[in-house]
Each structure stands twice: as structure tokens, then as C-alpha cells.
Amino acid sequence: MARYVTTDLHGCLQSFQHLVEQKLKLSPQDELYVLGDYVNKGPNSRGVLDYLMQLPQWGYRVICLRGNHDQELLDAAQANTALTWASTTDRQLTLNSFGVERLGDIPTPYLRWLQELPYQLEVPGWVLVHAGFNFRLPPTEMRQDWHSMLNIKEFVFDASRLQGRRLVHGHVPTPTAEVEERVKARTGAIGLDTGCVYRHNPELRHLAAFNLDTEELILQPNIEPDYPIGVK
């Protein structure tokens, strides 16, 4: 059995499928944790959600967490926010993937699935979250600060506030070489977002998977068909 973590798929279905099926060769005995941001920016948001929803039906052990883009899509579709959830380019790519013209027309099963996503997860030795934590808060408040879990971009890691566990997160696109260095150094907090969706950026454009047991980093280049890229 192996335990893998990956994050920030952003509609990059072909890259994610290749990572899961060819690089990880995921088996029903393995566990795969995905740390959010399934939608927006990339070419096939709906395809990513379909695949993630199907994997458990096929017998695979997959646990998905909530990301800020998932929350923004959910809020906008439920008319809880103004329509500022994505750039014009991103918005059109996402709507096109669902075959709809309005967010409110996204089929209910997708919105229900997003609504049920947890914000964080503890597994032996590790805490998993999309963006991170505000370690300046008392531990109890820190673990209930949903906004920071989805959106924080900078923090000073404090293992004592996670009962000695290390942290894996995504959210901030980070050059692949920098992620490789942090994994090699066995840092307390490891950010795995290697910016797969930014396919023209040679320092990014990878999906990264991390083996929680061997601490091996597995990289999958972006192999999506051509698509326009919005602003970060």
C-alpha cells in the first residue's frame, strides 16, 4: 500500500489521468489524497470532477479536499457572490466544459459533491490542507479558520500546533525545482503546487505527487490539448 498526495488539478484531466494510471499506477490498496482546486483555469473542469467522482466507484481509495477555486465556483453557482470568481477566459473554459452558458446551470450533482468536500485531513504523520494555516492563531481557532485553509499564501510553520505532524498543502504555484529541494530537505511544510495549468512556464507546468511513506516526488508534465491561459 502507498499513500500519495497531489493538488491543484485546475481542469488538467489528461495530465491527472496519466499521473494516476501511468506514473503512480494506482491500485485499490493505495490511498490518493487530492488537495483541491479541481476547476477553473484549465481546459476540462467537468472532466476532472467526473474522474474524481468515478475513481471511488471503481474501487479506488481517493479522498478529496476543498480548494479556494472549488469554493469560489460553488459560491458563484449558488449566487452567494458577485460574478468575480474567475477571469473571463477562465470562466468561459469552465462553463464550456460543463456545456452550459450560466453557472446556475451546472448540474446539481457536481455542486453537491463540491459542497461536501472537507477542508482538512489528518493521516498518520501528516496534516493535509489546500493552502495552509494561520499559525499565529491558537491551535483550536487555527483549525477552524476556513478562510485561511483555502486562501493563505504565507505562513511560518509550527509543528507544535499540529501535534508534531508535518504539513502538505498546495495553492501557491511554486517552481518545480524549489519543490524538489524542499522535499529533499524534508521540510516541515511541503507545498506541492507545481503549477501544472501554466503550461507555457518552464519552471512550472507539472503535476506533483508526493509519497507520504517514502517521501518520493513524482512529476507529471502538462500534456493537455491547446487551451488559452488566463491571468494568475
Read off the CATH number of the domain in which 105 is found.
3.60.21.10
List the grid coordinates of 38: 479541481
Whole-prediction pTM: 0.95
Residue 26 lies in a domain: yes
CB-CB contact of 197 with 43 (8 Å): no
* CA atoms lying within 13 Å on the CB side of residue 45: 30
Residue with cell 512556464: 201
Query: pLDDT digit string (tens) for 9-35?
Result: 999 999 999 999 999 999 999 999 999
Domain holding 83, by residue range, is: 3-221
Residue 230 lies in a domain: no
Q: Strand 217-221 relative to strand 206-211: parallel, antiparallel, unpaired? A: antiparallel
CA distance 86 to 73: 8
**Domain count along the chain:** 1
Residue 203 lies in a domain: yes
Query: pLDDT digit string (tens) for 37-80?
Result: 999 999 999 999 999 999 999 999 999 999 999 999 998 888 76
Residue 84 lies in a domain: yes
CB-CB contact of 94 with 105 (8 Å): no
